[in-house]
């Protein structure tokens, strides 16, 4: 069955089995008791439809826009498009993160979490009713719901830090929904435990068959291991735990090995004698189109699937695409155009990390945004995820591709990439740098460097002389900045940058206590000045004011929505925010 038919049927089932409860519920729960009736949860198809509904909910507009705003807009990558009016985005840019800001809402994620909990609660009983729903079917379903729920909680922890954690399925209006927040240590450990439990039972990556969308559209072993690597890297950065960094490396290695095996089993004809490459990254001319136009490339691990008819990616469309009178919400700022795209500097201090693109031989320099290398451009429109053509061809006279309206604005068919191989490779490199015993640990640092160079070399024009050199980054600090810069080059606009900067910030902070809620602490560790300088550089003015407002750990996170605080009296507000005042007054 084609994806559009599967997701369409899943959407219809979602509509049939849910009804909105009060908009004041802090979890925005969708109870099912009024519509499912006694005839639901009787057949294998009922379970499968609810599972499909959970994936369908991940395609919600609110989740896509928060992936962009939480993960990219807060960083140094993006600013609001000059002609687009949005007080909420203006306030985020000004670091006035009011509890009334609409982007603080977490209801879409808790909707997915509750759907997972519903499946986990009711699916076991279906085995006793429908013999077609076997123990093996149940284990696969259960594993996917555990993993998807964990991914949602991980998003919430990275955005809010202290969040309510529940495994209870909410089905009736009279269920008590007031839940206190849990600490990040508790939530992340629950996620790790669930993911480890899920790993043996989800489908093996590639098991659906060559070029089948389900290899990337459903959670597989590679997706589980990628999420685990990401969670361990996040927690390690908060606690400076060497064992967690090593676990990140271990799970990243599992992904790399599995994808190497898949490649050797399915693309053996493309492997030359004596080829020791374990990554098999595509040439850039194929990689850009396959990932950011057609989707589900062999490098991809997990993507949210949009077909443009039953489920258009309007979130991505509205935030990145511009067509005629329809303006994108966000773009790169004039300063970012200078810092990232229009100021490639061969004499830049490579170990500093403030210059991202070190050479114009880098395809990503030309392809991530429109009109690069154009001194007259004041705001560079996003090209990644937007263009309907292949990569820009590099020539000595190329001044960058102008904004194109060749892609239909309606029925926007573009997957959102959650994880892909270079992301996991660079997670491993980031962890390895932190595992180095010091600047003299050349072996560990070179291992991290080699991973970065693999990703970087793939993006360079053939026969380029501007390859990375180990001696330019041979200290722990230099290699850490190299990995951070390479992740920006490779993963630009993919919703990763703010979280990368937060991890970098945590590694340069002391006194972080993940066993306590922020609201229960009297003092919080101060933010690293180096991280603040990176974030503040997107502003043409006011960088000092930005740094003044971003003073301590709670500023890394969004406040809890004021409407949630009013309904759930057990919630504790992020201590540096309140409803009446902007952060500049706290």
Predicted confidence (pLDDT) per residue in 144-174, tens digit: 999 999 999 999 999 999 999 999 999 877 7
Helix axes 421-435, 221-239, angle to 10 degrees: 30
Beta-carbon contacts of 55 under 8 Å, excluding residues fewer than 6 positions away, are: 7, 10, 148, 217, 218, 304, 305
Beta-carbon contacts of 72 under 8 Å, excluding residues fewer than 6 positions away, are: 78, 330, 493, 494, 495, 496, 497, 498
Where do the DSSP E strands lie in 254-404? 300-304, 330-331
- CA distances, 5 to each of 2, 18, 324, 359 (Å): 5, 20, 31, 45
Beta-carbon contacts of 555 under 8 Å, excluding residues fewer than 6 positions away, are: 95, 97, 527, 549, 576, 583
Beta-carbon contacts of 38 under 8 Å, excluding residues fewer than 6 positions away, are: none
Alpha helices in 303-441 (DSSP H): 314-320, 334-336, 363-367, 421-435
Task: Yes or no: say if 501 and 485 are a contact pair by the CB < 8 Å rule.
Answer: no
Enumerate domains of the chain plus CATH numbers. 1-202+509-575 (1.25.40.390)
Q: Is the dihedral of CA 551, 553, 554, 556 positive or negative?
A: positive
Average pLDDT value for the chain: 85
What whole-number distance in Å separates Cα of residue 134 and Cα of residue 128? Answer: 9
205 versus 358: the higher-pLDDT residue is 205
Q: What is the pTM of this model?
A: 0.92
Q: Is the pLDDT of residue 251 over 50?
A: yes
Alpha helices in 130-181 (DSSP H): 135-160
Banded pLDDT at 21 (limits 50, 70, 90) = very low
Task: Yes or no: say if 464 and 361 are a contact pair by the CB < 8 Å rule.
Answer: yes
64 versus 274: the higher-pLDDT residue is 64
Q: pLDDT at position 43, please?
A: 95
Helix, strand, coil percentages, rounded to 5, for the chain: 50, 5, 45
- CA distances, 512 to each of 523, 525, 560 (Å): 10, 6, 20
What whole-number distance in Å separates Cα of residue 295 and Cα of residue 304? Answer: 10
Banded pLDDT at 3 (limits 50, 70, 90) = very low
How many alpha carbons fall within 13 Å on the CB side of residue 506? 24
179 versus 582: the higher-pLDDT residue is 179
Where do the DSSP E strands lie in 252-382? 300-304, 330-331
- CA distances, 354 to each of 165, 222, 351 (Å): 38, 33, 9
How many residues are listed for the chain in this entry? Answer: 586
Q: pLDDT at position 338, please?
A: 55
């Amino acid at each position: 069955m084609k994806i559009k038919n599967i997701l369409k049927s899943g959407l219809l089932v979602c509509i049939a089995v849910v009804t909105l409860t009060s908009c004041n519920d802090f979890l925005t729960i969708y109870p099912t008791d009024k519509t499912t009736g006694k005839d639901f949860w009787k057949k294998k198809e009922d379970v499968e439809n609810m599972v499909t509904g959970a994936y369908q909910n991940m395609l919600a507009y609110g989740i896509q826009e928060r992936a962009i705003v939480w993960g990219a807009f807060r960083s140094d990558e993006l600013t609001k498009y000059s002609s687009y009016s949005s007080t909420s985005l203006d306030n985020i840019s000004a670091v006035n993160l009011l509890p009334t800001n609409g982007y603080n809402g977490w209801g879409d994620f808790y909707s997915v979490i509750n759907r997972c909990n519903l499946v986990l609660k009711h699916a076991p009983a279906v085995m006793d009713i429908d013999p077609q729903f076997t123990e093996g079917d149940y284990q696969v379903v259960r594993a996917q719901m555990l993993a998807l729920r964990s991914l949602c909680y991980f998003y919430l922890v990275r955005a809010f830090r202290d969040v309510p954690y529940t495994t209870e399925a909410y089905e009736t209006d009279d269920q008590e929904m007031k839940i206190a927040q849990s600490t990040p240590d508790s939530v992340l450990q629950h996620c790790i435990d669930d993911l480890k439990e899920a790993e043996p039972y989800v489908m093996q990556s590639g098991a659906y068959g060559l070029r089948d969308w389900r290899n990337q559209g459903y959670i597989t072993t590679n997706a589980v291991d990628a999420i685990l690597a990401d969670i361990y890297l996040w927690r390690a950065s908060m606690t400076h735990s060497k064992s967690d960094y090593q676990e990140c490396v271990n799970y990243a290695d599992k992904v790399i090995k599995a994808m190497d095996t898949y490649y050797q089993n399915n693309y053996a004809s493309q492997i030359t004698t004596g080829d020791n490459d374990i990554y098999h990254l595509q040439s850039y001319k194929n990689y850009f189109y396959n990932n950011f136009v057609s989707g589900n490339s062999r490098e991809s691990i997990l993507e949210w699937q949009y077909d443009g008819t039953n489920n258009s990616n309007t979130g991505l469309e509205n935030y990145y695409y511009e067509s005629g009178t329809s303006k994108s919400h966000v773009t790169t700022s004039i300063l970012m155009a200078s810092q990232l795209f229009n100021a490639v500097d061969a004499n830049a201090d490579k170990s500093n990390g403030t210059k991202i693109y070190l050479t114009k031989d880098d395809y990503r320099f030309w392809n991530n945004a429109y009109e690069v290398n154009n001194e007259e451009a004041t705001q560079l429109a996003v090209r990644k995820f937007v263009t309907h053509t292949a990569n820009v061809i590099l020539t000595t006279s190329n001044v960058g591709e102008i904004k194109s309206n060749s892609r239909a604005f309606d029925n926007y068919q573009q997957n959102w990439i959650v994880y892909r191989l270079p992301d996991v490779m660079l997670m491993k490199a980031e962890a390895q740098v932190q595992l180095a015993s010091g600047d003299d640990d050349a072996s560990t640092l070179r291992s991290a460097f080699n991973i970065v160079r693999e990703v970087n070399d793939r993006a360079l024009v053939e026969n380029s002389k501007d390859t990375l050199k180990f001696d330019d980054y041979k200290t722990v600090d230099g290699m850490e900045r190299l990995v951070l810069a390479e992740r920006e080059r490779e993963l630009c606009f993919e919703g990763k940058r703010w979280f990368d900067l937060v991890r970098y910030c945590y590694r340069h902070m002391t006194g972080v206590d993940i066993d306590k809620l922020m609201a229960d602490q009297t003092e919080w560790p101060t933010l690293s000045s180096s991280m603040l300088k990176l974030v503040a550089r997107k502003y043409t003015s006011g960088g000092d004011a930005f740094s003044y407002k971003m003073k301590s750990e709670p500023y890394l996170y969004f406040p809890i929505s004021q409407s949630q605080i009013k309904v759930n009296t057990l919630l504790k507000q992020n201590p540096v925010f309140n409803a009446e005042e902007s952060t500049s007054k706290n």
